[in-house]
Structure 1
Amino acid sequence: MAIQKRTVGVIGTGNVGVAAAYALFMQQTASDLILLDKDQRRAEGEALDLMHGQTFAGPTRVRVGDYADLAEAQVIVIAAGVGQRPGETRLDLMERNVAVFRAILTELDRHAPTALLVIATNPVDVLTYVAQELSTRPPQRILGTGTMLDTARFRSLLGEHYGVDPRSVHAYILGEHGDTEFPVWSDARIGGLRLVGNTINGRPYDRPALDAIFERTRRSAYDIIERKGYTNLAIGLVIARLVQTILDGQHSVLPVSVRLQGEYGISGVCLSLPGIVSENGLETSILPELDDTELAAMHHSANVLRERIAEALPGQVGQELKTQEAG
């Protein structure tokens, strides 16, 4: 029986798009990988470079295409965006990125209306909401990478602290992928045992040490950018994991950026909650029991994001959002 063709598009071959394409290629997630970029020659160079690794990774076909070629794609990753110019405000940058997304979504709705979209461009929560507003496809078929990377960093640092495999750590960073994100300490566990109040692998509960781990998590992107100028490798792996979850219909629970519709008394924003992800996109959100501090942090994150969405989408949608309150 023939294996079903699995086609994935990557729009934007900057640092993040290329890292995602490389991870998808090395993991053989797709049988056909299509790269798109405004700079077509760069995209061609990246495609050729990847194709030359087929001997070592496997026969994934990598090619440059246009929007019409994405008609056969099941999943499309959007990693395109513009960088900040000297003297440019955050609002100016946001307006230019919204213009980029408007052009991209117009083409995708025309040529690939049924593909599931993965948004990786920052600010990912705002641009996930923007994409859902600009596209005709159902919102549950547009997911942001959200706090998947933050959660991975968090679990890695907790695993190092407790001397266990990070894959055995069950803890989440939720809310915004950014400064207002927060840890769910009340339900963080290793081997089913809560971290709060317990000794694990000889390590007693030490709240200041755990708070320092969260602060390192929250500052990770800044630390990496300070040293190498950008982040791309880990987010590339995150994107590949999310795409594989979708293509395989794994029904995995992942902290992705989705639109809230009354969860925790919040609506009108996209931010990260644990959600069941399958070939249909978001099946349903999982709502962990938050303590009062965590719930307040969730509302704060939503309020900050609501203001940014109002800036990104001025006019009727933006003004309506600006006047809402998270709870």
Structure 2
Amino acid sequence: MTDSPYSPSRDTRSSTLSIVALALAIILPLVGFVLGLLARAKSKASGSPTVVANTAVVIGALLSAVWTIAIVLLVGFGGVLSGGPAPRTPDTAAPSESTPPSGSESGDELVIEVTSERELDSATLAAARTALSFYAENAGVEMVDITETNADTLAVTFGADATSTDVDAFARAVSTPAAEGFYAVDAVHPATGGADLGDGSTTPPCDALRFGPMTVEEHVLACDEAMVTQLLLPSSARLVGNAIAEVEVSGDVVAVTLSDAAAEEFAAWTREASDATAPGNQIALVDFIGVISAPTVAEELAGEFQISGATLDAELLAARLQLLSSGVSFTAR
């Protein structure tokens, strides 16, 4: 009997290899493509069908191409994300290199000279940039850039929508703030104003104080950051801002330490306030932006206290306190 030229064992091997190639073409496309070529060659040599092997070759080739393109795009996209400058640590108070937001145009420019009763270091200038940027935002004046031009000068660029009147008001307010330091509280009014000052005049609404505290009838009127409450304060601070000796941030808590001389006065003041009725039991900490904090005093406090809160922007608060502590003043020109 003549043997058949097609051996059943070779058919089985070719069929198995084709099936394996097809499976790998889906899982490992390149490996499946190579095995598919090998299975097709063996199937042709044995006279077996090559449909499965051909399918493995096609699928392996297509998926290999897809994976190659995907890897190239992924690598390229990752390079764009990591191609910016190295992040700076908070202690590196380098000049701002911000650029105007897309679609905004530059308008008026203002040069602000910064002076300090203590060392005017890079950290203090960084705090000044932070506070001035927030001040412009809070006042509704578009600021597109603020940079250090030298060791004691900041250049502020406003947006095209900022009017010259607003820029002038901004310059006057930062150069001659109406209040800075620790104040007793004479009265608390709603933001809508209209409270009688005792001479026939009334307090203006907080909307009129968007450029910070203002002097009204031998008093200082200041609004809180949220513009929901206004405080009527004496014309002068009981403790000046540079009574603050140290400011530390830990999470959402800002710790404030007063100088030794100020600590004694603060202890006597808080002892009096803890026994007083409202609003005499409040102490307001104010800067050129407005009321930083106005807590109710429940007990005598030594020369250290903390400011905290769930919605507190600790870094911004620390910057504002740092400016008070250093006795920073601005001169706009």
Report the TM-score when normalising by structure 2.
Answer: 0.24
The structure with the largest helix share of the pair is 1
Larger gyration radius, structure 1 or structure 2: 2
